[in-house]
């Protein structure tokens, strides 16, 4: 491959599989950290749940060259293995993110934007949540916006996803001063302030894993 | 941690196995885990509930004639997953749709809603009623709303009877919502509890302290205060329930005409002089029945002062939090319909009369 202009098929099904593997690796590595974040404002199980869920994702990873089928399989595994609120929320993200891509072997940069936007729309609807409520959306939405802007400027998938991961990181940090309005953390009221949201953190890690997987497979 | 367990990882599975052996009239299904009336449901609405384990007899103990058709247990204090409610729903669907009764905890709500979507994709009509009756939480504006407590037990009893009577899904859904807005609960803890998985108590409570306004997952309450007498504690809980204002919140429900989830504003009743109620004086797990009667005596007195008449009562273990010591009180305003259905025959491991 000589260059990576946005007109080329940017993200193969293999890159998506690598993304999920990398997600599983980082979630296993950060398992204790995520659970620690979840202890003061949740029920101290987010790291365990995400690690268990993504381990199962990797174990059942479809080798189909069909991005939609891969994402749907991820969704169904997360739904049945993660539990708590994160299971249906991440399950919905992957289910809705993959829907437009049934039968497609690769994603264009513009498809990545659709994937994020559809996934996020599903999470918003499932969780009846909006930005600023101290949830995973506070990492996901800035990532989608940065991705969309970068793609509109004609950036490659690799560059656009790096911008998305950086924006997700900022969004994750921005949850620290927020007061939670959804989930068990919301019952703490002002006591939920000064804690980084575990869901936003796992979302950031997963988005960063996507950026890295696409960068590696584009070399 | 001192518990009658073998291995912390296996407790839910082992307990389900024992439940199945003890109650052969109930089918216990593994992977995904659910319990259901043997033989399924014919030609009436199926009533399904579920939630984390650790609240027994809720919900598995309420599966049987005149109450639940299936219950889906999660791990201890952890919501069940949609594949459980999906398989349980398919197993008990009798062609007239499914009513899901869900306690208002974010994990339960999201997992049940997702299962409802999956079942609807299979052409099964599903309605989903959330019970949010915990008056300890004042408002829902910045929180996930009031939690589900003892009104859940009455909703399951009354809706199970209504299904037996032949209510269709629309009518059953309306009835379940009515029970929810007629019911109010509040709980307190004398001691925390320990999940087998964590091994340590969920919070620390000194010998002379108590938590008021607890949920059922070992979470701390809304207030911590010095321990008081049974009468004083009962008066706090009963007064909060009886004088609770008309709580208004948005609940998400399925709109079958739009084919989508919609947010609907829902307003509770307030108790009035002259009301008749069903009361539950519920042990959180460790509190003995003898102490519950001390609580009941004071509850009856406080209710009478408010002009409220207790016409039926349940005193015992109905919605527990492992071995936590403490009590919760539930009052459900009973109109003619609720009372008739409450009195209808029921035959489950934990509730049985009229048979």
Residue at B347 is within a domain: no
For position B140, what pLDDT does the model report? 64
Contact between A32 and A47 under an 8 Å Cβ cutoff? The reply is yes
Whether B283 contacts B247, CB under 8 Å: no
DSSP B190-221: SS--B-TTT-SBSS---TTEEEES--SSS---
**Considering just the CA atoms, what is the radius of gyration of chain A in Å?**
16
Residue B141, pLDDT score: 63
> Is residue A83 less than 8 Å (CB to CB) from chain B?
yes
Whether residue B323 is found in the same domain as residue B190: yes
Element containing residue B83 per DSSP (H, E): helix B82-92
The confidence band for A2, taking pLDDT boundaries of 50, 70 and 90, is very low
Residues forming a β-bridge with B99: B47, B127
Report CB contact under 8 Å: A183, B217. no
Q: Are residues B261 and B112 in the same domain?
A: yes
Say yes or no: B165 and B88 in one domain: yes
C-alpha separations of B230 from A158, B186, B208, B287, B337 in Å: 66, 15, 14, 12, 34
Tell me whether residues B83 and A80 touch, CB distance under 8 A: yes
Query: Would the CB atoms of B143 and A187 count as touching at under 8 Å?
Result: yes
Residues B221 and B194 in one domain: yes
Which tens digit of pLDDT belongs to each residue from A110-154? Answer: 999 999 999 999 999 999 899 999 999 999 999 999 999 999 999
The answer to whether the Cβ–Cβ distance between B110 and A126 falls below 8 Å is: yes
Q: Which residues of B touch A52 (CB under 8 A)?
A: none
- Asked if residue A172 belongs to a domain, the reply is yes
Distance of alpha carbon B281 from the chain centroid = 13
Q: Is residue B342 part of a domain?
A: no
How many C-beta atoms surround the C-beta of residue B343 within 10 A? 16
Determine, for residues B113 and A79 on separate chains, whether the beta-carbon distance falls below 8 Å.
no
Partners of residue A128 in chain B, C-beta under 8 Å: 252, 263
> Which residue is it, tokens 């009455």?
B154
Query: Residue A137 domain-assigned?
Result: yes
Whether residue B341 lies inside any domain: the answer is no
B193-240 confidence digits (pLDDT tens):
998 987 888 788 899 999 999 889 887 788 889 999 999 999 999 999
Instruction: List, in order, residues 6 or more apart from B118 with CB less than 8 Å away.
Output: B82, B86
Residue A10 has pLDDT above 50, yes or no: yes
Please state the rounded mean pLDDT for residues A188-208. Answer: 93
What CATH number is attached to the domain comprising B146? 3.40.50.10440
Domain that holds residue B134: 13-182+248-265
B59 is catalytic: no
Residue A197: give the domain boundaries.
11-217
Burial class for A113, CB neighbours closer than 10 Å (0-12, 13-18, 19+): buried
Nearest-angstrom CA–CA distance, A56 and B13:
20
Task: Mark whether B125 and B207 lie in a shared domain.
Answer: no
Residues B85 and B206 both lie in one domain: no
Nearest-by-CA chain B residue for A45: B78
Q: Does B114 touch chain A (CB under 8 A)?
A: yes
Same domain, B116 and B197: no
Among residues B23, B55, B59, B306, which one is catalytic? B55
Give CA B261 to chain center in angstroms.
Answer: 23
Residues B162 and B80 in one domain: yes
Residue B226 burial (C-beta neighbours within 10 Å; 0-12, 13-18, 19+): exposed
A199 touches chain B (CB under 8 A): no
Query: Taking CB atoms and an 8 Å limit, are B144 and A189 in contact across chains?
Result: no
A161-193 pLDDT tens trace: 999 999 999 999 999 999 999 888 887 778 889
Does residue A200 lie within any of the structural domains? yes
Q: Is residue A19 part of a domain?
A: yes
Mean predicted lDDT score pLDDT of chain A: 91
Determine phi and psi for B108, rounding to 5 degrees. -60, -45
Q: How far is the C-alpha of B80 from the C-alpha of A83, rounded, in Å?
A: 7
Residue A209: pLDDT over 50: yes
Q: Which two tokens stand for residue B25?
A: 């009239």
Instruction: Assess A80–B contact: CB distance below 8 Å, yes or no.
Output: yes
Residues 180-219 of B with CB under 8 A from A: 198, 217, 219
Whole-model pTM: value is 0.89
Determine the residue among A39, A48, A60, A79 to mutate to test chain B binding: the one whose Cβ has the most chain B Cβ atoms within 10 Å. A79
Ranges in chain B, pLDDT < 50? none
B343 within a domain of the structure (yes/no):
no
Cα separation, B62 vs B347, whole angstroms: 8
Report if residue B91 sits inside a domain: yes
Q: How many whole angstroms separate alpha carbon A77 and alpha carbon A87?
A: 9
Measured between beta carbons, the chain A residues lying within 8 angstroms of B113 are 88, 126
Last residue of a domain, one of B207, B231, B265: B265
- Contact at CB, B252 and A183, closer than 8 angstroms: no
Whether B354 maps to a domain, the answer reads no
Yes or no: say if B176 and B182 are a contact pair by the CB < 8 Å rule: no
DSSP three-state, residue B1: coil
Are B235 and B168 in the same domain? no
B110/A44 CB distance under 8 A: no
Name the pLDDT band for A7 (thresholds 50, 70, 90). very low
Q: Is B55 a catalytic residue?
A: yes
Q: What are phi and psi of B303, to 5 degrees?
A: -60, -45
Asked, for residue A3, whether it belongs to a domain, the answer is: no
Of all helices (H) and strands (E), which one includes residue B184?
strand B183-189
Contact B161, B341 (CB under 8 A): yes
Chain A residues in contact with B79 by the CB 8 A cut-off are 83-85
Site of tokens 């696409």: A214
| Domain count across chain A | 1
Nearest C-alpha in B relative to A129: B144
B349 in any annotated domain: no
**How many residues are present in chain B?**
355
Choosing from B23, B217, B306, B317, which is the catalytic residue? Answer: B217
Q: For B145, phi and psi rounded to 5 degrees?
A: 90, 175
**A60 in contact with B at a CB cutoff of 8 Å?**
no
| pLDDT above 80: residue A3 | no
> What's the rounded Cα separation, in Å, for the pair A44 and A38?
5
Closest Cβ–Cβ partner in B114, B142, B263 for A91: B114
Q: Does A79 touch chain B (CB under 8 A)?
A: yes
Q: A67-81 and A46-59 are packed helices; what angle lies between their axes, rounded to 10 degrees?
A: 140
Q: Tell me which residue in A43, A87, A182 faces B144 most closely, judged by beta carbons.
A: A182
CATH number of the CATH domain containing A204 = 1.25.40.340
DSSP string, B26-51: EEEETTTTEEEETT---SS-EEEEEE
Q: Is residue A5 included in any domain, yes or no?
A: no
Q: Which residue among A83, A91, A127 sits closest to B78, beta carbon to beta carbon?
A: A83
Please report the pLDDT score of residue B200 as a whole number: 85
Nearest CA distance, A89 vs chain B (angstrom): 8
Residue A4 lies inside a defined structural domain of this protein: no
Using a CB-CB distance cutoff of 8 angstroms, which residues of chain B are in contact with residue A125?
261
The answer to whether position A82 is within a domain reads yes
Backbone angles phi, psi at B237, to 5 degrees: -65, -50
Query: Is B263 in contact with A187 (Cβ distance < 8 A)?
Result: no
Give the H or E element holding residue B260.
Answer: strand B260-267
Residue of A nearest to B145 (CA): A187
A53 touches chain B (CB under 8 A): no
Based on the fold, state whether residues B127 and B233 are members of the same structural domain: no
Chain A residues closer than 8 Å to B80 by CB: 83
Report the half-sphere exposure of B241 (CA within 13 A, side-chain side). 35
Shortest Cα–Cα distance, A187 to chain B (Å): 6
Q: Decide if A187 and B144 are in contact by the 8 Å CB cutoff.
A: yes
Would B43 be classed as within a structural domain? yes
Q: Do B219 and A44 touch (CB under 8 A)?
A: no
pLDDT at residue A4, rounded to an integer: 41
Q: Tokens for A182?
A: 């959804």
Co-location of B171 and B290 in the same domain: no
Mean pLDDT over A85-108 rounds to 94
**Total domains present in chain B:** 2
């Amino acid at each position: 491959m000589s260059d990576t202009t946005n007109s080329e098929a940017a993200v193969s099904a293999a890159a998506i599989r690598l993304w999920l593997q990398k997600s599983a690796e980082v979630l296993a590595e950060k398992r204790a950290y995520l659970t620690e974040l979840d202890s003061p404002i949740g029920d101290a199980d987010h790291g365990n749940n995400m690690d268990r869920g993504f381990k199962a994702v990797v174990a059942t990873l479809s080798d189909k060259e069909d991005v939609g089928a891969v994402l749907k399989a991820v969704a169904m595994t997360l739904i049945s293995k993660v539990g708590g609120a994160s299971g249906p929320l991440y399950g919905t993200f992957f289910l809705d993110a993959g829907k437009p891509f049934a039968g497609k072997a690769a994603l264009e940069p513009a498809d990545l934007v659709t994937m994020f936007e559809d996934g996020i729309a599903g999470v918003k609807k499932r969780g009846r949540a909006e930005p600023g409520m101290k949830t995973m959306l506070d990492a996901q939405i800035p990532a989608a916006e940065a991705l969309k802007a970068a793609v509109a400027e004609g950036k490659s998938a690799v560059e656009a996803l790096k911008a998305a991961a950086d924006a997700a990181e900022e969004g994750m940090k921005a949850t620290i001063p927020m007061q939670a309005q959804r989930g068990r953390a919301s019952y703490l009221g002002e006591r939920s302030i000064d804690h980084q949201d575990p869901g936003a953190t796992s979302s950031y890690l997963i988005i960063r894993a996507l950026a890295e997987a696409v960068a590696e497979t584009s070399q | 941690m001192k518990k009658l367990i073998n291995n912390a990882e296996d407790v839910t599975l082992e307990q389900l196995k024992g439940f199945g052996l003890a109650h052969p009239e109930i089918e216990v299904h593994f992977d995904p885990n659910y319990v259901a009336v043997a033989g399924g449901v014919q030609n009436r609405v199926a009533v399904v509930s579920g939630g984390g384990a650790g609240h027994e007899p809720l919900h598995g103990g309420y599966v049987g004639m005149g109450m639940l058709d299936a219950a889906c247990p999660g791990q201890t204090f952890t919501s069940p997953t949609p594949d459980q409610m999906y398989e349980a729903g398919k197993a008990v669907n009798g062609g007239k749709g499914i009513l899901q009764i869900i306690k208002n905890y974010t994990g339960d709500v999201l997992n049940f809603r997702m299962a409802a979507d999956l079942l609807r994709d299979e052409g099964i009509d599903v309605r989903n009623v959330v019970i949010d009756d915990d008056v300890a939480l004042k408002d829902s504006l910045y929180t996930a709303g009031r939690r589900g407590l003892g009104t859940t037990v009455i909703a399951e009893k009354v809706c199970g009877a209504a299904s037996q009577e032949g209510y269709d899904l629309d009518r059953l859904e309306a009835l379940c919502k009515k029970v929810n807005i007629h019911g109010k609960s509040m709980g307190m803890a004398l001691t925390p509890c320990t999940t087998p998985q964590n091994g340590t108590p969920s919070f620390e409570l000194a010998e002379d302290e108590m938590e008021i306004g607890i949920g059922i997952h070992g979470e701390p309450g809304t207030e911590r205060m010095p321990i008081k007498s049974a009468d004083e504690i009962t008066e706090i809980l009963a007064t909060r329930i009886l004088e609770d204002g008309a709580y208004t919140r948005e609940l998400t429900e399925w709109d079958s005409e739009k084919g989508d989830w919609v947010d609907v504003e829902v307003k509770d009743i307030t108790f009035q002089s002259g009301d008749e109620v069903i009361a539950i004086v519920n042990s959180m797990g460790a509190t003995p029945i003898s102490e519950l009667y001390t609580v009941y005596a004071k509850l009856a007195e406080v209710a009478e002062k408010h002009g409220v008449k207790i016409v039926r009562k349940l005193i015992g273990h109905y919605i527990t939090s492992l071995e936590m010591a403490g009590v919760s009180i539930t009052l459900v305003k009973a109109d003619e319909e609720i009372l008739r259905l409450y009195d209808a025959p029921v035959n489950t491991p934990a509730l049985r009369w009229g048979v």
